[in-house]
């Protein structure tokens, strides 16, 4: 049997805790044999244009040295579909190909305006990425865009993942029973930005409170819109809105276990939102918009509710539906838990990635 290929995975420092970093933080220890992780991009605490420019040059030089000595067969990069990331990581791809290595590109975030830019300049995309050996994306829609740009190499659709440990000793029946016995908490867990839907979820909960006054909202996260959102809640005098700040680890997941539902009305250029996967893994119904990879699997009344709209009254209607229909709530909770166990565990994703590496 041939030995498994030696892989170098390029990504930012895991301390950033973005979507890419969260993915590799969960999957890093699941590879067999382990892959090598090569840190690129801005480091925590790094400031100044000149500092970043010299560091970027250093990354390219360090990459060439490491690749020339390390015996790697495959270079795996993870850009988001936006100009800076695609250009920066495209240079690593060119260097890897010049050194005779196979290349794999996993495109994570997906910015629609930049997709439209590539539609007008496909030659530039093909110049940097056209000879990549295989691609991974997070939705069939994104796969279609790559094919539209002339990509004929294999394109795989993958998912965002949940850590296996999240579901160890998790009693879904007990959790559902407990949630149905407590006053309702809606969870919004994200960077607090207008495009992530913070005002839509606040307004939706305010509408629900007119019929179910005990309903609350927990906002977990920080961001540029935090103070404005807090001022909005104060101005509108909306009760039971709790801003708990940025959390990580067990305190973060405790918010999921204490809530009854995730409401995430994002309009952002999502690939496959981590928070949706985490909520499903812990048996929460999800109310969200049809963004990125969500559109490929999400079924209304099986996973929660998904829409293309942005009207808070629509989200409020879905919340009320779950509040009033206990059987539907319990059915969605159980289905999401089982679906996540089958589709979203980090160990399963590692096996799928290893199969892709062997195919190159």
**Each residue of 296-322: pLDDT tens digit?**
999 999 999 999 999 999 999 999 999
The pLDDT, as a whole number, for residue 167 is 82
Mean pLDDT for 192-210 is 97
Between 303 and 50, where is the model more confident?
A: 303
Closest alpha carbon to 190 in 158, 229, 163, 146:
229
pLDDT band at 48 (very low <50, low <70, confident <90, very high): confident
- Burial class of 45 by CB neighbour count within 10 A (0 to 12, 13 to 18, 19+): exposed
- The H or E element spanning position 295 is helix 294-297
* Helix/strand/coil for 291: coil
Q: Is the pLDDT of residue 1 over 60?
A: no
pLDDT higher at 205 or 15: 205
Distances (CA, A) of 216 to 123, 184, 185, 356: 51, 6, 5, 44
Counted residue by residue, the chain has a size of 360
Q: What integer pLDDT is reported at residue 160 of this predicted model?
A: 85
> Can you point out the beta strands (E) in the chain?
7-11, 36-39, 74-77, 102-106, 134-137, 155-157, 185-189, 216-220, 241-245, 261-264, 286-289, 304-307
State residue 108's pLDDT score: 86
Burial group, residue 97, by CB count within 10 angstroms (0-12, 13-18, 19+): middle
The pLDDT, as a whole number, for residue 169 is 83
Residue 96 has pLDDT above 90, yes or no: yes
What pLDDT shows up at residue 100? 96
The confidence score (pLDDT) of residue 228 equals: 97
- Residue 183: pLDDT above 80? yes
Cβ–Cβ under 8 Å, residues 255 and 187:
yes
Ramachandran angles phi, psi of 219, nearest 5°: -110, 110
Provide the pLDDT for residue 248: 85
Query: Is residue 87 scored above 70 in pLDDT?
Result: yes
Kindly provide the b/e burial profile for residues 300-332, where b requires at least 16 CB atoms within 10 angstroms of the residue's own CB: eeebbbbbeeeebebbbbbbbbbbeeeeebbeb
* pTM of the predicted structure, to 2 decimals: 0.87
* pLDDT attached to residue 101: 97
Condensed to tens digits (0 to 9), the pLDDT of residues 145-174 reads 999 999 999 999 998 888 888 888 889 999
Cα(22)–Cα(155) distance, integer angstroms: 22
DSSP E strand boundaries for 154-290: 155-157, 185-189, 216-220, 241-245, 261-264, 286-289
Provide mean pLDDT across the span 211-226: 96
Q: Which domains can be identified in the chain, with CATH numbers?
A: 7-161+345-359 (3.40.50.2000), 164-343 (3.40.50.2000)
Helices (H) and strands (E) in the chain, counts: 15, 12
Compute and round to an integer the Cα radius of gyration of the chain.
Answer: 21
Tell me the mean pLDDT in the region 107-135: 94
Number of C-beta neighbours around residue 195 at 10 A = 12
pLDDT at residue 21, as a whole number:
83
State the Cα–Cα distance between residues 261 and 283, nearest whole angstrom. 9
């Amino acid at each position: 049997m041939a030995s498994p290929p030696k892989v170098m995975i390029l990504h930012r420092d895991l301390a950033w805790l973005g979507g890419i970093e969260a993915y590799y933080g969960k999957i890093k220890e699941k590879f067999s044999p382990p892959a090598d992780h090569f840190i690129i991009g801005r480091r925590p605490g790094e400031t100044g244009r000149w500092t970043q420019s010299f560091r970027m040059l250093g990354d390219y030089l360090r990459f060439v040295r490491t690749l020339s000595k390390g015996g790697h067969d495959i270079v795996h990069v993870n850009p988001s579909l936006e100009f800076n990331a695609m250009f920066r990581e495209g240079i690593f791809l060119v260097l890897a190909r010049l050194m005779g290595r196979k290349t794999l590109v996993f495109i994570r975030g997906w910015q629609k305006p930049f997709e439209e830019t590539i539609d007008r300049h496909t030659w530039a995309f093909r110049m940097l990425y056209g000879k990549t050996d295989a691609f991974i994306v997070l939705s069939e829609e994104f796969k279609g865009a790559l094919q539209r740009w002339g990509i004929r190499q294999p394109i795989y659709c993958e998912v965002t993942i949940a850590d296996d440990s999240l579901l160890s000793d998790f009693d879904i029946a007990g959790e559902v029973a407990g949630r149905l016995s407590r006053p309702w908490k809606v969870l919004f867990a994200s960077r607090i930005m207008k495009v992530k839907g913070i005002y839509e979820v606040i307004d939706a909960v305010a509408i629900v409170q007119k019929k179910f006054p005990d309903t609350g909202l927990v906002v977990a996260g920080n961001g540029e819109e935090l103070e404005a959102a807090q001022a909005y809640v104060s101005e509108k005098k909306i009760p039971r809105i709790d801003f708990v700040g940025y959390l990580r680890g067990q305190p973060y997941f405790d918010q999921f276990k204490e809530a009854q539902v995730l409401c995430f009305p994002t309009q952002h250029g999502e690939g496959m939102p981590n928070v949706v996967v985490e909520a499903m893994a812990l048996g929460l119904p999800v109310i969200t918009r049809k963004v990125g990879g969500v559109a490929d699997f999400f079924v209304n009344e099986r996973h929660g509710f998904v829409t293309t709209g942005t009207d808070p009254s629509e989200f409020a209607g879905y919340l009320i539906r779950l509040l009033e229909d206990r059987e539907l709530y319990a059915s969605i909770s159980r289905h999401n838990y089982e679906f996540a166990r089958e589709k979203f565990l980090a160990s399963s994703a590692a096996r799928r990635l290893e199969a892709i590496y062997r195919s190159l």
